[in-house]
A and B are shown apart, each in its own frame.
Chain A
Amino acid sequence: MELTRGMIRRFARSSVDGIDATLLTVALLLMALGLATLYSASQESPERVIWQLRHLAVALGAMWLVARMPPQVIMRSAFPVYVAGLLLLIAVALFGDVVNGARRWLSVGVMRFQPSEMMKIAMPLMLAWFFHRNEGNLRPREFVIAGILVAVPAMLIARQPDLGTALLVAAAGFYVIFFAGLSWKAMGGLVALALASLPPIWSLLHDYQRRRILTLLDPSQDPLGAGYHIIQSTIAIGAGGLSGKGWLKGTQAHLEFIPERHTDFIFAVYSEEFGLIGNCVLLVLYALLIARGLAIAAQAATLFGRLLAGAISLIFFTYAFVNMGMVSGVLPVVGVPLPFLSYGGTALLTLFIAIGLLMNIQKQRKLVRT
């Protein structure tokens, strides 16, 4: 008896070993808000909520595994994962399935998946590993190579065409470069270059991409198409007011005015029902998550850990900011899910793997200190 109880206790202790309570709590709180909103957005049918719970179970399992992996394994996996992601992106360009006029999906037997999703994690892993290998020896040459490592997959994704994801993947890579210490002067130069390249990029954009940017400036121009999304989601947010209409009482969502209300536009549903107070809660939760991530970065034992943790924190920030910005009508509609709230298995898996990586880095610090 005593023996088994001891074993159970030891097992219980060892299974939570490496799990960061703060990160997990914040992520699960966000999930809870997401599931409640999802239930409302699905007209109170539990089907999607149940599916999302299944996704969550898988994602938590993945997080647990990643958090407990030996750090060397993660570091060693960076290069092969990146190369595999790159090869898959090339495969998509050659044999991918076309959906919505874009070639993003790769069929694997009966399943289809988006290699660009994989790049969201592979990119910061690869760059962090690259800088870690060249630690203490970072000259401009290394930064140029890093730039190429970012640009190649980003361009492949942009050609699919999936401009939104391309920018996000590029941002993920840029964050690593930023934390690795790219000089302010160089960054200023890059900004100038980016501004200068806007006109030629505009001429390369697909019509629908230009239309999205134009409708952002004036949504009323295209009330049936792209502008419709922005008009309706803005109305939903504004109608929410200070305290919201209450859970399950949002009319914009329930009368099906909000398109993609389970996925990219779920924030409009949330905002209508929970109001400004709800929005502030959401911002605070995201801020806590990001702050915890940045704290882990600041205390990480290795350069690899520092860079990876810093980049992941800023990726969380970017997703949350871009999604809420687009739904509230200050950023173009680029198809970015709201972290932990939007419906979707792949995105959830990616998010919790990222959380797992943060936990892994945090655990490593403890090992070094004691």
Chain B
Amino acid sequence: MIGLTELRNTERELHAFRTRVLVAAAVVLVTFGLLGARFVWLQLVQHEYYHTRAEDNRIAIVPLPPRRGLIFDRNGVVLARNYSAYTLEIAPRKVSDLDGTIKMLSNIVAIGSRDRSRFAKHLVEARNAESLPIRTRLSDEEVARFAVSRYRFPGVEIKARHFRQYPFGATASHVLGYIGRIDARDVERLEELGVEANYRGTEYIGKRGVEASYQQSLHGETGFEQVEIDAAGRGIRSLSETPARPGHNVILTLDIRLQQVAEAAFEGRRGALVALDPSSGAVLAFVSMPNYDPNLFVDGIDVQSWKALNSSPDRPLNNRAIAGVYPPGSTFKPFMALAALTLGERTPESTIQDPGYFILGERRFRDSHVGGHGTVNLRKSIVVSSDVYYYQLAHDMGIEAIAGFMQQFGFGARTGIDLEGEASGVLPSPQWKMKRFARREQQHWYAGETISIGIGQGYNAYTPLQLAAATAAIANGGALYRPHVVSYIEDARTSKRETIVPQLIRQIPLKPEHVAFVQDAMAGVNSEGTGARAFAGAEYTSAGKTGTAQVVGIKQNEKYDETKIDERLRDHSLFIAFAPVESPKIALAVIVENGGFGSRTAAPIARTVLDYFLLGKRPETTSQASAARDGERP
């Protein structure tokens, strides 16, 4: 009996299932029928209408790319502009024999090997592009010659295009950056931002520097033109037009003449300089040497130039000012002194004996000044740059206190400057070491490590920009500003301005008398100390601090002898400064890679920049600078 009901149940279920299958089949038939009806409606009843629309009234929507905004310096000198020129372009999809076509074209217009390699590169990078340039900047004669034999080259066309030009060449290239053709990665980024529709018809995009970080403002809004086209796709007449809105102009805080003076002062050496307005964080000069010519990138860099830039041991594409990290060396001492005063670790009166070395356990830490500086108080420790004073101070303060204080000055954190690619550097602390190293024994913080932190060595690693921003904070009494290179953005048509408002990162709680003390000691550096030679005869008051950062460690009983050391392993030369001391208008940090003592190469560069900024004095000859270079010890 049970078996029978089960059987009957299965039968019934199967029956019910088959009913549902029939229902489903009916639904499928009905909906397909509805679709069929829609097709009949479109393809039979409305066919004439759509046929006409497709055959006679083809409306193409042609994007009108906007004109890119210009970049100016603070005085209105143009740093990036556009010019229009004729280019010879090939539509790869419409040309069957590319090599043959190029060969034939080269009989009419000059096509060099660089043009060919650049075209080949474009072809690989932008395979779906409508047309790619084989030659740019054609002369009128070349245009005329091509026009005559145009019929022989289907798929090849002359087009008027806008090009970017950087009139100052390599000057300020690390601030300006450059534009280049939009590549797959750019497309992905634009899609993520949801702005890809605004880039229809745009070919170039900012790749580095201000060109990249202010891309959205510089680009503008794409317009559209409705064009009637014939069956072959040629435009017949324009129906309506929504004009493009040109990109905004970007005005930098930079003074291009100061920038030129600063870059020239490096005399071909590698390094970086950042000069800030201490009252706002505005960047006055921003140097990273070597620099490069951004014009090379504009119509696609050729392979040879790219290889040369990329494989040069001097790394010209590295933006040292924000992406290079260096130990600050003795330029760290004013900050240590301020920490000592603020935390009550030292008074201006207290002295120590500097015998030229400091002993912790079994380790001996040397002063770079053989024999030491004798009795040293806080002011003298900065003026003559005593190492032993800061070995002792770091030992007394402890790493936690040092890290806690220095963090307020922005050391080891990105400043948030309006340029991409900023490094954060390293503010050493036991917590940092825990995170940085995986192995137990490496994670431990040793007391000896604190000692070298005190003189800006050891794990300390900051960007020149961080050092400049921190120096500006000493100059202005403790206000740490977010550095910025753009002053304002201007609507090219309405001249409406959008000002970049200075942003205070934090007001560091410091006692005015402590700040005044450190400022005075730094003034002492330039009037009687390690910076005196470089600042001899200056017609303004200035405060500074020299620094020398070790590139290689020197063993316990070894002597550092520059002549015996490979050029790239020589010490880095550093200098921080601000002026005038009473009401600082400029604060800066300079680093010269492998430049030796801070007083010798970095300080004269700072002097040159301050002379120009405060007095408008250009360096007449380089003799003054080179004379100062044979200076004293740091």
Contact = CB atoms under 8 A, between A and B. Distances in A.
Contacts of A314: 24, 28
Interface in A291-340: 291, 294, 297-298, 306, 310, 313-314, 317, 321, 324-325, 328, 330
Interface in B24-67: 24-25, 28-29, 31-32, 35-36, 38-40, 42-44, 46-47, 49-51, 53-55, 58, 60-61
B610 to A, nearest CB: 48
Contacts of B47: 238-239, 241-242
Contact of B36 (A228, A240, A283): A283
B17 interface: yes
19 contacts: A43-B93, A100-B194, A101-B191, A136-B9, A179-B20, A224-B197, A237-B39, A238-B51, A239-B50, A241-B43, A271-B39, A272-B54, A287-B29, A298-B18, A298-B21, A306-B17, A314-B24, A321-B31, A328-B38
B85 interface: no
A321 B42 contact: no
B224 interface: yes
Interface string B552-565: 00000000000000
Given A43-B93, A234-B50, A238-B51, A279 B28 contact: no
B188 interface: yes
Looking at B21, B29, B47, B224, the one whose CB has the most chain A CB atoms below 10 A away is B21
A29 B526 CA distance: 88
B108 to A, nearest CB: 28
B144 interface: no
Interface string B223-246: 010000101010000000000000
Interface in A219-269: 223-225, 228, 234-242, 251-252, 255, 257
B441 interface: no
Interface residues of A, number: 51
Contacts of B50: 234-235, 237-239
A325 B32 CA distance: 10
A263 B55 CA distance: 24
B77 interface: no
A240 B43 contact: yes
Contacts of A181: 13, 16-17, 20
Top 8 nearest A-B pairs by Cβ distance? A238-B50, A239-B54, A238-B42, A276-B43, A241-B47, A239-B50, A279-B39, A237-B42
B17 A179 contact: yes
Contacts of A237: 39, 42-43, 50
Interface of B: 9, 13, 16-18, 20-21, 24-25, 28-29, 31-32, 35-36, 38-40, 42-44, 46-47, 49-51, 53-55, 58, 60-61, 93, 188, 191-192, 194, 197, 224, 229, 231, 233
Contact of A224 (B18, B31, B61): B61
Contact of B32 (A223, A224, A241, A283): A283
Contacts of B60: 255, 257
Contact of B58 (A43, A257, A276, A287): A257
Contact of A98 (B13, B17, B38, B192): B192
A275 interface: yes
B187 to A, nearest CB: 11
Contacts of A98: 192
Contacts of A198: none
Interface in A27-45: 43, 45
A277 to B, nearest CB: 9
A290 B231 CA distance: 40
A272 B54 CA distance: 10
Contacts of B42: 234, 237-238, 328
Contacts of B9: 136
A130 interface: no
By secondary structure, the A interface counts as helix
B117 to A, nearest CB: 25
B145 to A, nearest CB: 31
A101 B231 CA distance: 36
A236 B16 CA distance: 44
A321 B24 CA distance: 14
B578 to A, nearest CB: 45
Contacts of B55: 239, 251
A101 B47 CA distance: 38
Given A276-B39, A314-B24, 18 more contacts: A43-B93, A179-B24, A181-B13, A224-B224, A225-B197, A228-B61, A237-B43, A238-B49, A241-B43, A242-B43, A257-B60, A276-B40, A276-B43, A279-B39, A317-B31, A325-B38, A328-B39, A330-B35
B239 to A, nearest CB: 12
B559 to A, nearest CB: 53
A238 B39 CA distance: 8
Contact of B28 (A238, A239, A317): A317
Contacts of B16: 181
Nearest to A223: B61
Contacts of A310: 17, 20-21, 24
Contacts of B93: 43, 45
Contacts of B24: 178-179, 294, 310, 313-314
A131 to B, nearest CB: 11
B39 A255 contact: no
B618 to A, nearest CB: 52
Contacts of B32: 283, 286-287, 321
A302 to B, nearest CB: 11
Contact of A255 (B13, B18, B58): B58
A306 B61 CA distance: 51
A27 B302 CA distance: 50
A330 B38 contact: yes
Given A179-B20, A225-B197, A328 B35 contact: yes
B231 to A, nearest CB: 6
B42 to A, nearest CB: 4
Nearest to A279: B39
Contact of B20 (A101, A178, A240): A178
B349 to A, nearest CB: 59
Contacts of A290: 25, 28
Nearest to B33: A283
Contacts of B192: 98-101
A53 interface: no
Contacts of B40: 276
A16 interface: no
A179 B23 CA distance: 10
A280 interface: yes
A363 to B, nearest CB: 19
A317 B25 CA distance: 10
B54 to A, nearest CB: 4
A255 B43 contact: no
B16 to A, nearest CB: 6
A14 to B, nearest CB: 31
A298 B38 contact: no
A178 B25 CA distance: 13
B135 to A, nearest CB: 26
B54 A236 contact: yes
Contacts of A324: 35
A291 B58 CA distance: 41
A276 B61 CA distance: 28
Given A101-B191, A237-B42, A255 B229 contact: yes
B43 A297 contact: no
A241 B31 CA distance: 21
Nearest to B93: A43
Contacts of B231: 251
Nearest to A244: B43
A294 B36 contact: no
A279 B60 CA distance: 27
Interface centre among A225, A298, A330 (most CB of B within 10 A): A298
A228 B60 CA distance: 11
B554 to A, nearest CB: 46
Contacts of A223: 61
A321 B188 CA distance: 32
Given A242-B44, A313-B24, A251 B54 contact: yes
